[in-house]
Structure 1
């Protein structure tokens, strides 16, 4: 169910005792009419026992791209996202309500965008929040607060999401060995990459490659070339 569509599922009793989300402006109304549903306000989309709900219109697109990614791989989802001129990768754990920039934070937004671009080009390096904050000219605490306000997610979670996406791309497109995929995606070791795949994607890197490899992998040149966002 997308946006207000969660009301239909709830009215049918399909969400009783389950977690769900709807548009932030409808949450109070939803809770009043459906007290047996656990509303998760800080999410773009969530799943509970194979029933998916999404927040607003854009979050509905995010959910649909996520389902395509699960069924057909990250490259297929990215191809569709490009044709729709929309962001190819936003996780369901991002907050659906993001603060609107003020004149002062407009400058912050430019700075944070430059920092994110730098991080994407250097995912293979051991980046930390302190490193990114220093590049932005902010204290780690201020940087984390403004990053979350601008993106709806924390710097650490954002970095992990981008590293998972980079690893997915390498697994789909190349025949690089697992340790090299882990290194280029910034995980440091195959074990760490495998742990994050298990917790975030409920699969292993090897199983992901077996399911979504293009069938004609080509080894990439040295260096890391992350997916453009």
Structure 2
């Protein structure tokens, strides 16, 4: 008859207790993280990326690293794009053709920025996507995390990348109109928002360019509204 070793029995009891405790902690951390994603990100309109407090990190355990991927995306993107994008928006704030003539260099500078930023955004988005692929997530967490990630990473990144080429096309149309005006200064006079053309043929050609510019500008406004709807949750 085999004798039971009390030391061995105690060892296995302790192992089982530790495993149960670990499972219990993981479940509590996962539930807390799911609730955070749902109530602090998904249920709120627009893009919200709260900064985790120390108590949040303790509450979420290892799941804090999964939130850090989303948070790092925004921090890095803001650091790399905020100043240049703010400057470009100011440079694009032109209310008349007369003002555009005076600020041609601003327009060219803004267009250069708009052409460069989509690649930078894609780079940061790819880093976040790569980090996301490494996460091990139970199905209940994955379903909620996917929604939160889409809200704060995918949607704003795509909205920005979609808006910038459209805005750049508007600036191209602006520069083309300026080139035409500059080439026909003898018959085109610009004073602020007023444009006078003494040649009917030139008038028709200029109108064609200005109509194209107006169409591009409307497309830019629509793209900007979509971006605002994503970022702020309103049209």
TM-score (norm 2): 0.27
Relative to its length, the structure with more helix (as a share) is 2
Return the index of the structure with the highest Cα Rg: 2
Which one has more relative contact order, counting CA pairs under 8 Å at least 6 apart? Answer: 2
TM-score (norm 1): 0.27
